[in-house]
Amino acid sequence: MAMVGLFWITEDSVYVGAEPAGTASGVRLSKDGVEALGLEHGGSWSWEEVRRIEVADVTVRPASRRWVSQAIDVVAVALTGDGELPPAFTVRITTTDETVEVSVLSAVAGGIYGPVEYELSRTLLGRLVDGRTDLEELLLWRRDRVGETGPGREEREALMLKWIGDRDPS
């Protein structure tokens, strides 16, 4: 598994946010469509039924502020021994018949995304829904990297630019 933007990519699925464990809620994207996971939000839709996928409540900060927040979190855990789950954000799936909101856990350490990675993720979500980007591109990338660690920030941004078809970020 590897995190790229708001996505957690496995060899056969892409999750918006972290891959859920047990009965935790989540959103899975596959070649067949979109699935809301968890006890409260079960449901699945084909790509033809999905009109839009949006995210809300995502913590976005520039790199300098992100590092300060993460450092404070590390110190707090070291002093108190209390670890927390990553922050959650909302994924809103709009279909031909309904809108479903699912709370998912952040896939990035500390739960804080950079502004560029966040915006690229939102664009990629839109292109996956409207068919301009094929989900298989993301899955093939992951299958080619089995056993490798997740990419750094610059590589993640370059990957998303490639997947959305925009080689130049300016």
> How far is it, in rounded angstroms, from Cα 17 to Cα 13?
12
CB 102 within 8 Å of CB 25:
yes
Selection from 13-17, 18-22, 57-61 with the highest mean pLDDT: 13-17
Report CA-CA distances (Å) from 122 to 21, 68, 91.
24, 25, 11
DSSP string, 77-123: HHHH----PPPEEEEEEEESS-EEEEEEE-SSGGGEE-HHHHHHHHH
pLDDT of amino acid 78: 42
Give the tens place of pLDDT for each residue, 39-95: 777 799 999 999 999 999 999 988 544 444 444 444 444 444 455 567 899 999 999
- pTM for the full model? 0.83
